[in-house]
Amino acid sequence: MKRAVYPGSFDPLTYGHLDIIRRAAGIFDELTVAVLNNNAKSPLFSVEERVKMIEEMTKDIANVEVDSFSGLLVDYAASHDIHVSVRGLRAVTDFEYELQVAQTNRLLSRGELDTFFLTTSLEYAYLSSSVVKEIAEFHGNLDRCVPEYVEQRLYEKVLVSKRVVRSDQQ
Ligand code: PNS
């Protein structure tokens, strides 16, 4: 049984992430999408919200499960008997950072955790969660960036945060 973990912030999940999830799920027997619980990054969505969104969007893929983790990925992987981490590469600019993380994970795990890179499909090469949040902030069109379910959750968040700011200013 070949298991893999796809770790990330997923704040929020984009079509680029979904593309990697679907393709990795076709390669491995079991794929765990693991959402990093890192308060230092002050995410827009809570871990629970991100897990729920990914669960909703992957419920048709039988061998995908969604989880969250804190701390080091190597510790999460070891405790779940997982030896492959999946990451997407959009462009050569991703590579330097991803190579460093992959090498660090091999070192920390004493060779027990390898990284499997998938190149992002070209139509999603421009996409990132940060860009998606910026588009949502200015009410731009997100049709080609995120599924409608994620778009709805984004606009709920953006509208709520605008309301909070407005009531703070009164
Ligand atoms: O979606 P992201 O933010 O690019 O994902 C980054 C992630 C979650 C894969 C990476 O930050 C991570 O694995 N963090 C957990 C802490 C860790 O293991 N760090 C050591 C490797 S540098």
Q: Tell me the two tokens of residue 2.
A: 């070949």
For 108, other C-beta atoms within 10 Å of its C-beta total 15
**Which residues are catalytic, by number?**
17, 41, 90, 129
Q: How many A from CA of 130 to the centre of ligand 1?
A: 16
Nearest-CA residue for ligand 1 atom 7 is 8
Q: How many A from CA of 122 to the centre of ligand 1?
A: 23
**pTM across the whole model:** 0.93
Residue 76's closest CA among 26, 113, 117?
113
Q: Tell me the two tokens of residue 41.
A: 């990054």
Q: What tens-digit pLDDT sequence spans the chain (170 residues)?
A: 999 999 999 999 999 999 999 999 999 999 999 999 987 778 999 999 999 999 999 999 999 999 999 999 999 999 999 999 999 999 888 999 999 999 999 999 999 999 999 999 999 999 999 999 999 999 899 999 999 999 999 999 887 766 555 455 54
Q: How many A from CA of 87 to the centre of ligand 1?
A: 10
- pLDDT score at 158: 83
Q: What is the DSSP letter of 36?
A: E
- pLDDT score at 71: 96
- pLDDT score at 19: 97
Q: Is the dihedral of CA 155, 161, 166, 170 positive or negative?
A: positive
Q: How far apart are alpha carbons 58 and 66 in whole angstroms?
A: 9
